[in-house]
Amino acid sequence: MKFKDDPKYKRIKGEFLSLDLVIPGTIRETYLHCGKKECACSAKDGTPHGPYYFWNRKVNGKLTSKSISPDKLQLFLVWIKNREMLEALVNQVLEFGQEIAASLPSKTEEEKSKKRASAKRGK
């Protein structure tokens, strides 16, 4: 079909192909008190330990967390950003598809000519 030559379609397709790994979820940063009485974090104004990072996502409808090390944080953030880009691209493809589908004629030229021909015979 002609839409495959459309520059908009080619751009969207190229962006799909350029995506790297895609993962769902979010990153949560937290600070924790360890609970040891002798630790400085347990003082009234004690500074908690951290930051600690967790990758949160749903698995089989349940929220699941996985601890990630600070050196892997940027990698996970890129993968999550890729998911956001993927979702945006899917929406663009859906919009483009609707435009193409809406622009197609409802009847073929053959169907139109048959209708005209039978209308003439009835007179």
Structure confidence by residue, pLDDT tens digits, 93-102: 999 999 989 9
Number of H helices, E strands in the chain: 3, 3
Q: Closest Cα to residue 9, out of 100, 81, 84, 86?
A: 100
User: What value does the mean pLDDT of the chain take?
Assistant: 89
Looking at residue 58, what is its pLDDT?
96
Structure confidence by residue, pLDDT tens digits, 33-50: 988 989 988 888 889 999
User: What is the DSSP track for 79-97?
Assistant: HHHHHHHHHHHHHHHHHHH
Q: Between 1 and 86, whose confidence is greater? A: 86
Structure confidence by residue, pLDDT tens digits, 57-94: 999 999 999 999 999 999 999 999 999 999 999 999 99
Strand arrangement, sheet containing 49-59: 26-32, 49-59, 62-68
Q: With 70 as the cut, is the pLDDT of residue 110 above it?
A: no
* Domain definitions of the chain by residue range: 22-87
